[in-house]
Chain A
Amino acid sequence: MASELPWDPKTRTLRRDLAEGMMNPACKQALELALGLGQKEGAQVTAITMGPPMAEEILREAIAMGAHRGLLITDPALAGSDTYATSFTLARAIEIFCPDFDLILTGCHTTDSETAQVGPQLAEELGIASAAYVDEVTVEGGTARLRRVSDGFLETLEIDLPCLVTVNTTNRSPRYVPLSGLEDAFGEVNILSVGVADLGIDPALVGADGSPTRIVDVTAPRSGKENVVLTGAPKKIVEELLERFESRISGLIRQDIRKSDAR
């Protein structure tokens, strides 16, 4: 969570180097969904990550879980990239190394900065349709059918392939890593490591210099909860309680607390 990582006021970035390397939980959900679709549709699954060289570990984990190949985008020139520069870089990599893709699945957001921007921006960069915070995806012919909960309603959407879908963190338990899969992931596996030169990207367009976003400060929101202790005679307490909280409680239980059986 953004508030759990210390903020470096000099570079104006989160100290991600202090976090233990792990697959972003929402991305793990996206991978699980991709692997399920891959098995059902006979599709090839490519896991892509952009990060420091140690991010290779995440790709090995993805391959151990069942992905067919991995693409690691790593280059010192990319350090400090904001969501715009990241989406731009990912788009170029996908154009070159996955030109025939049908479906891009991403996590709905990361647990470190939680912007939820990279997925939709990537779709814009690639000029394809997208949908965010999706729970389920099925594919029929050239169409994907999506389900998501939005404003308390269950929505079913149809979207033409190729498209991009960001996957919610609910509803699925990602498969465990089989140990034979891990053994395979360290055998002869297809992990390609590329830098900005391989992607034909001008280094000035990425990294901290190529990033238009400036984060000025990061603060944790103050919790609005407070404990209230009412004192005095019972009748007075009940009256005060109703006066202060009646409308909120009635709203929450969806019936008038004065007429409720729960009285």
Chain B
Amino acid sequence: MKHKLVRKAVREFAEAELGPIAHDIDRDARFPWEVVEKMRPLNFFGLQVSRDFGGAGLDSISYAIAVEEISRISGAMGLCVTVHNSVGAYPIERFGTEDQKRRFLPRLASGESIGAFCLTEANAGSDASGVETIAVDAGECFVLNGTKIFVTNGGVCSLPLVFAVSDPSDPTGSSCVFVVEKTMPGFSVGEMEDLCGMRANPVSSIFLEDVRVPRENLIGGIGDGTKIALATLDTGRIGIAAQAVGIAQAAFEAAVKYSKERQQFKRPISSFQSIQNMIADMAVSIDAARLLVYRVCAVRDAGGRFGKEAAMAKLYASTICSEVASKAVQIHGGYGYSKEYDVERYFRDAKVTEIYEGTSEIQRMVISRWVLSESM
């Protein structure tokens, strides 16, 4: 009953507040601050943050449902919410000290500050050990220098997490994570990326030039960075998988509706078997993806290891998301290729779910490692 009400509550909000603008914010590549203001008191920015720090303290399934429902209306805002919650706030709650949680989590949970996760660099992405951003220990603080790219929420974040190394000769052994304030001297945001999809999210580069970050902003210790990154990405994958399900659902609903309306040869195209087959395949794959997402949530809430389940859900959900969106365009014919119809946006938004938070190739690597080590 709770999960049903979570879906209802988020759907009601998303349809009413994001529905009318989802198309325009994509076209204009505009981040809708006015909607963010309305999301704040409803706990969209502290979905799983504990109640003590101002969050809603939701279980993982509720979290996935919330991301799914926002993404069903606007993939770009679903992205903002999932990244903020799962890789912006969660690492602080999981690995931070009491003092760090007290200082940072209420700001993130209220949405006063938007979070981000700065890992990817020109020479680092799937390979986290390629990080070249350097953090030099200067006693009371660390001095950070480097350039991060493709930072989701980059243009709007004010409390991002930044991954660095303190010793370039030992990138894994010296990997570390800092909470960085946007207001720190030397921190700057580059141009917004001109992306294929998710255009309402200000994805950008972030430059760090002699940014002095207090020692008490180091999450975990020196050498913990890779561990934190991997744990964070496991959680982040649940969010992206949920996002992919939401986008696929939107494309599916649009395709079903259109197939009943569009008349060819004097009958609705939904009466043709070739369309029916596509619709059946879409329905099955979305359901299967959704169940994979809820399974990893259940495993996570039960306290189990969920890396494999998260990778499976993310791989499958993002794969079918692209397939479903492509079929939805196909069913719409020429109109589906027009910016007048939303399926064109779903089609563009879908692709990146196969790329970020670990590409499909990386997910297969993760899954096969688990499988091969389990069967030994």
Binding site for B on A (CB under 8 A): 56-57, 60-61, 64, 176-180, 182-183, 185-186
Find residues 247-278 in chain B having any chain A CB closer than 8 Å to their own CB.
none
The answer to whether A176 and B12 touch across the interface, beta carbons within 8 angstroms, is yes
Q: In the bound complex, how far is the Cα of B102 from the Cα of A148, in angstroms?
A: 49
Contact among B1, B13, B44, B46 for A60, CB-based, below 8 A: B1
Contact with A along B104-138 (1 / 0, CB 8 A): 00000000000000000000000000000000000
Of all A-B residue pairs in the complex, the 6 with the closest CB atoms, nearest first, are: A177-B9, A179-B56, A180-B56, A179-B43, A186-B2, A178-B42
The answer to whether A177 and B42 touch across the interface, beta carbons within 8 angstroms, is yes
Find residues 5-24 in chain B having any chain A CB closer than 8 Å to their own CB.
5-6, 8-10, 12-13
Q: In the bound complex, how far is the Cα of B7 from the Cα of A57, in angstroms?
A: 13
A-B contact pairs, 17 of them (CB 8 A): A56-B1, A57-B5, A176-B9, A177-B12, A178-B42, A178-B56, A179-B43, A179-B44, A179-B56, A180-B43, A180-B46, A180-B56, A182-B6, A182-B62, A183-B51, A183-B58, A186-B1
Contact among B4, B13, B44 for A57, CB-based, below 8 A: B4
User: Which A residues lie within 8 Å of B1 (CB)?
Assistant: 56-57, 60, 186
Q: In the bound complex, how far is the Cα of B56 from the Cα of A56, in angstroms?
A: 22
The answer to whether B5 and A182 touch across the interface, beta carbons within 8 angstroms, is yes
Q: In the bound complex, how far is the Cα of B2 from the Cα of A60, in angstroms?
A: 9
Contact among B5, B42, B55, B66 for A176, CB-based, below 8 A: B42
What is the interface size of chain B, counting residues whose CB is below 8 A from a CB of the partner? Answer: 24
Most B CB within 10 A of own CB, among A60, A183, A185 = A183
The answer to whether the Cβ of B57 comes within 8 Å of any Cβ in the partner chain is: yes
Binding site for A on B (CB under 8 A): 1-2, 4-6, 8-10, 12-13, 38, 41-44, 46-47, 51, 55-58, 62, 66
Q: Which residue of A lies closest to B10 (CB)?
A: A179
Q: In the bound complex, how far is the Cα of B6 from the Cα of A185, in angstroms?
A: 11
Q: In the bound complex, how far is the Cα of B362 from the Cα of A168, in angstroms?
A: 56
**Extra contacts besides A177-B12, A180-B51 (4): CB < 8 Å:** A178-B42, A180-B56, A182-B5, A185-B2
User: Which A residues lie within 8 Å of B58 (CB)?
Assistant: 179, 183
CB distance from A252 to the nearest CB of B (A): 31
Contact among B4, B12, B42 for A179, CB-based, below 8 A: B42
Q: Which residue of B lies closest to A177 (CB)?
A: B9
Known: A179-B42, A179-B56, A180-B57. A61 touches B5 (CB 8 A): yes
Tell me the dominant secondary structure on chain B's binding face. helix
Most A CB within 10 A of own CB, among B2, B10, B12, B58 = B2
Known: A57-B5, A61-B5, A186-B2. A178 touches B57 (CB 8 A): no
User: Which B residues lie within 8 Å of A183 (CB)?
Assistant: 51, 56-58
User: Which A residues lie within 8 Å of B38 (CB)?
Assistant: 176
User: Which B residues lie within 8 Å of A60 (CB)?
Assistant: 1-2, 5
Q: In the bound complex, how far is the Cα of B58 from the Cα of A11, in angstroms?
A: 43
CB distance from B365 to the nearest CB of A (A): 35
Q: Which residue of B lies closest to A65 (CB)?
A: B9
Q: In the bound complex, how far is the Cα of B4 from the Cα of A60, in angstroms?
A: 11
The answer to whether B2 and A182 touch across the interface, beta carbons within 8 angstroms, is yes
Known: A183-B56, A183-B57, A183-B58. A178 touches B43 (CB 8 A): yes
CB distance from A184 to the nearest CB of B (A): 9
Known: A57-B1, A60-B1. A179 touches B41 (CB 8 A): no
User: Which A residues lie within 8 Å of B47 (CB)?
Assistant: 179
The answer to whether B4 and A180 touch across the interface, beta carbons within 8 angstroms, is no
User: Which B residues lie within 8 Å of A64 (CB)?
Assistant: 5, 9
Q: In the bound complex, how far is the Cα of B148 from the Cα of A32, in angstroms?
A: 47
Q: In the bound complex, how far is the Cα of B43 from the Cα of A14, in angstroms?
A: 38
User: Which B residues lie within 8 Å of A56 (CB)?
Assistant: 1
CB distance from A180 to the nearest CB of B (A): 4
CB distance from B6 to the nearest CB of A (A): 6
User: Which A residues lie within 8 Å of B10 (CB)?
Assistant: 179
The answer to whether B55 and A180 touch across the interface, beta carbons within 8 angstroms, is yes
User: Which A residues lie within 8 Å of B12 (CB)?
Assistant: 176-177
Q: Which residue of A lies closest to B49 (CB)?
A: A180
User: Which A residues lie within 8 Å of B4 (CB)?
Assistant: 57
Q: In the bound complex, how far is the Cα of B13 from the Cα of A206, in angstroms?
A: 39
User: Which A residues lie within 8 Å of B2 (CB)?
Assistant: 60, 182, 185-186
Most A CB within 10 A of own CB, among B8, B47, B58 = B8
Q: In the bound complex, how far is the Cα of B2 from the Cα of A64, in angstroms?
A: 11
Q: In the bound complex, how far is the Cα of B8 from the Cα of A198, in angstroms?
A: 32
Q: In the bound complex, how far is the Cα of B44 from the Cα of A92, in angstroms?
A: 41
Q: Which residue of A lies closest to B43 (CB)?
A: A179
Q: In the bound complex, how far is the Cα of B62 from the Cα of A57, in angstroms?
A: 16
